[in-house]
């Protein structure tokens, strides 16, 4: 129980020529992969709520643009370079089993994990921009 956070990448296949086959031989309409997962990284969740979900903290899926992924990654890097900026740029947020609101080593580790996840998502050899869309969802 607690705050679980998921970033999915989805690719739609519009052309029959490009569609892979499922194990049962049927054509695949889309492919969805888990691009990232966090647990109780409440500062990252708060960023998604404020910047992607229009301030609505709900357990629904929301589209995330590449520009938003870049903005979050760059914000994490700013705080990693100067942790004194944490409260200003990525403040922790309390909630139902959201974890600690301290800016400590766990907070910093969540930022490092986030940068790794987002660097991978923004790697155009893995996720070409014209082919993949990203979606964020949380649950608790």
Q: HSE-up of 2 (CA within 13 Å, CB side)?
A: 10
- Assess contact for 113 and 7: CB atoms under 8 A: no
- Assess contact for 72 and 44: CB atoms under 8 A: yes
Dihedral angle of Cα 65, 71, 77, 81, to the nearest 10 degrees:
-170
What is the band of 16 on the pLDDT scale with cuts at 50, 70, 90?
low
Mean pLDDT of 37-60: 96
At residue 82, does pLDDT exceed 90? yes
50-76 pLDDT per residue, tens: 999 999 999 999 999 999 999 999 999
Give the predicted TM-score (pTM) of the model.
0.90
What distance in Å separates the CA atoms of residue 20 and residue 82, rounded to the nearest whole number? 46
């Amino acid at each position: 129980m607690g705050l679980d956070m998921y970033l999915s990448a989805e690719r739609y296949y519009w052309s029959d020529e490009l569609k892979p086959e499922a194990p049962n031989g049927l054509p695949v309409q889309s492919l969805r992969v888990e691009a990232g997962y966090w647990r109780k990284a409440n500062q990252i969740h708060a960023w998604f709520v404020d910047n992607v979900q229009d301030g609505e903290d709900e357990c629904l899926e929301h589209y995330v643009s590449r520009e938003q992924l870049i903005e979050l990654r760059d914000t994490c890097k700013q705080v990693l370079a100067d942790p004194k900026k944490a409260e200003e740029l990525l403040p922790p947020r309390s909630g139902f089993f959201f974890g600690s609101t301290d800016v400590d080593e766990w907070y910093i580790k969540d930022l490092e994990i986030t940068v790794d996840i987002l660097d991978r998502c923004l790697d155009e050899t893995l996720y070409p921009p014209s082919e993949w869309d990203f979606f964020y969802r949380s649950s608790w």
